[in-house]
Amino acid sequence: MIHFLKMCATRPESDRSVVKRLRGRPRKTPDERDDGNRRQDLVKAAAHLFRRHGFNATSTRDIACAVGMHSGSLFCHFKSKDALLYEMMQEGLRSALARQTTVLLAKHDAATTLQQLIRSHLDTLLGPNSDFMHAVLYESRSLNTQQRNVITKLQGDYEAAWTPVLQELSLTGCLQAEMPLARHLIFGGLNWSVQWFDAKKGASLDDLTDAAMVLFIRKKSR
């Protein structure tokens, strides 16, 4: 041991740094340093492919190739394709909840708040980062029971935030249907837009928001 320490003391600085690294934790590879970004790349690619082809028809090889990785490298980041689906759905719903909370904190009147909630929800369904929502709506059967319960809880929290707004509109006679039926109809109608909406045909998300307000909210008579 004494002999080893003497050798280290007499070695050049560059040699001593090599010895120090060998005795400690190895330096991370570029892929390891970029692990968080690579996971996000996989999540986004998977969401896009699941939306285009469906969960079952998309292979882990397809997902890995979409981000320029070898097929087996995906498993360095996710235990399975199911685990990737689960994380994608959680991240998407939590992001939607955060946007919705921003709307609710603005403290507008009930009609304006509902209008902004609808607009935010349409962006969640149809906006630039909406691929995950297709999986939430149609691929939950691919999750195990525990995972499905977590996703159901997040969806419930998201929808429950609309209840006080709709209740206030109902009390003032502005809501076109009774609660909670109105809430189910609103979400059912809005969610179905993922099946038919095409921005290339001229309608915008603002147009959809205005149309939804006409359908669900009656104006107060003067």
Q: pLDDT-derived band of residue 26, with 50, 70 and 90 as boundaries?
A: very low
- Structure-token pair, residue 123: 């962006």
DSSP secondary structure of 137-159: HH-GGGS-HHHHHHHHHHHHHHH
- Given a contact cutoff of 8 angstroms between Cβ atoms, the answer to whether 92 and 132 are in contact is yes
- Structure-token pair, residue 106: 């603005």
Interacting residues of 213 by C-beta distance below 8 A, sequence separation 6+: 111, 114, 115, 118
Q: pLDDT-derived band of residue 34, with 50, 70 and 90 as boundaries?
A: low
- Structure-token pair, residue 37: 């970004």
DSSP-assigned beta bridge partners for residue 175: 217
DSSP three-state, residue 181: helix
Query: What is the torsion angle, in degrees rounded to the nearest 10, for the CA atoms of residue 127, residue 130, residue 134 and residue 139?
Result: -170
* Domains of the chain listed by start with CATH number: 79-216 (1.10.357.10)
- pTM for this predicted structure: 0.79
* Lowest-confidence segment of 71-75, 115-119, 216-220 by average pLDDT: 216-220
Q: Which of 33, 28, 30, 43 is nearest to 74 (CA)?
A: 43
Residue with tokens 């970004």: 37
> At residue 125, does pLDDT exceed 80?
yes
- Given a contact cutoff of 8 angstroms between Cβ atoms, the answer to whether 150 and 87 are in contact is no
Interacting residues of 15 by C-beta distance below 8 A, sequence separation 6+: none
Model pLDDT for residues 140-149, shown as the tens digit of each residue? 999 999 999 9
Distance separating alpha carbons of residues 170 and 182, to the nearest angstrom:
9
- Given a contact cutoff of 8 angstroms between Cβ atoms, the answer to whether 98 and 161 are in contact is no
% of the chain beyond a pLDDT of 90: 73
Model pLDDT for residues 54-93, shown as the tens digit of each residue? 999 999 999 999 999 998 899 999 999 999 999 999 999 9
Mean pLDDT of 89-115: 95
- Given a contact cutoff of 8 angstroms between Cβ atoms, the answer to whether 16 and 105 are in contact is no
Region for 173 from its dihedrals, namely left if φ exceeds 0, alpha if ψ lies in -120 to 50, beta otherwise: left
Q: Which residue has the higher pLDDT, 18 or 192?
A: 192
Distance separating alpha carbons of residues 184 and 181, to the nearest angstrom:
5
